[in-house]
Amino acid sequence: MQKRKTGNILFLCCWMILLSVKAAAEEEYIIYKDPNKPLNKRIKDLMKRMTLEEKIGQMIQIDRTKATPDVLKKYYIGSVLSGGGSVPKKEATAEDWIDMINGFQKGSLSTRLGIPMIYGIDAVHGNNNVYKATIFPHNVALGVTRDPQLIKKIGAATALEARATGIPYVFAPCLAVCRDPRWGRCCESYSEDPNIVRSMTEMVPGLQGDIPSNGRLGVPFVANKEKVTACAKHYVGDGGTVKGINENNTIIDRHGLLSIHMAGYYSSIIKGVATVMVSYSSWNGVRMHGNKELVTGFLKGTLRFRGFVISDWAGIDKLTYPWHTNYTYSILEGVNAGIDMVMLPYNYTEFIDGLTYLVNNNFVSMTRIEDAVKRILRVKFQMGLFENPLADYSLTKHLGSPEHRELAREAVRRSLVLLKNGANADEPVLPLPKKATSILVAGTHANNMGYQCGGWTITWQGLSGNITIGTTILSAIESTVDPETKVVYKENPDSEFVKSNNFSYAIVVVGETPYAEGSGDSLNLTIPAPGPDIMTTVCASVKCVVVLVTGRPVVIQPYLAQIDALVAAWLPGTEGQGVADVLFGDYGFTGKLARTWFKTVDQLPMNVGDSHYNPLFPFGFGLTTEPVKA
Tell me 537's DSSP state: H
- Which of helix, strand or coil describes residue 629? coil
CA distances from 403 to 7, 160, 172, 409, 522 (A): 72, 11, 21, 10, 36
What are the two backbone dihedrals, phi and then psi, of residue 229, each rounded to the nearest 5 degrees? -75, 130
601 within 8 A of 523, measured Cβ to Cβ: yes
Contact 119, 79 (CB under 8 A): yes
Residues 533 and 546: their CA atoms lie apart, in Å, by 12
Please report which helix (H) or strand (E) contains residue 266, including its range.
helix 263-270
Taking a C-beta distance cutoff of 8 angstroms, is the pair 528, 551 a contact? Answer: no
Handedness of CA 233, 229, 334, 353 (dihedral sign): negative
CA proximity to 544, closest of 421, 367, 368: 421
The rounded distance, in Å, linking the Cα atoms of 54 and 47 is 10
Note if the bond before 404 is cis, omega within 30 degrees: no
Which run of H or of E encompasses 276?
Answer: strand 275-278
Q: Is 225 helix (H, G, I), strand (E, B) or coil?
A: coil
Residues 6+ apart with CB under 8 A from 486: 437, 438, 439
What type of residue is 330? S
312 belongs to the catalytic site: yes
Report residue 609: phi and psi, to 5°: 100, -15
- d(C-alpha 355, C-alpha 363), whole Å: 9
- Among 289, 271, 272, CA closest to 280: 289
d(C-alpha 483, C-alpha 168), whole Å: 45
Residue 517 is a catalytic residue: yes
CA distance 267 to 585: 37
| Nearest to 507, CA basis, from 571, 564, 588, 435 | 564
Set 54, 312, 564, 581: catalytic member: 312
The edge-to-edge listing of strands for the beta sheet with 342-343 is 169-170, 118-121, 79-82, 60-63, 342-343
- Residue of 180, 192, 202, 517 marked catalytic: 517
Answer for the pair 238, 283: CB distance below 8 angstroms, yes or no: no
- Residues noted as catalytic: 312, 517
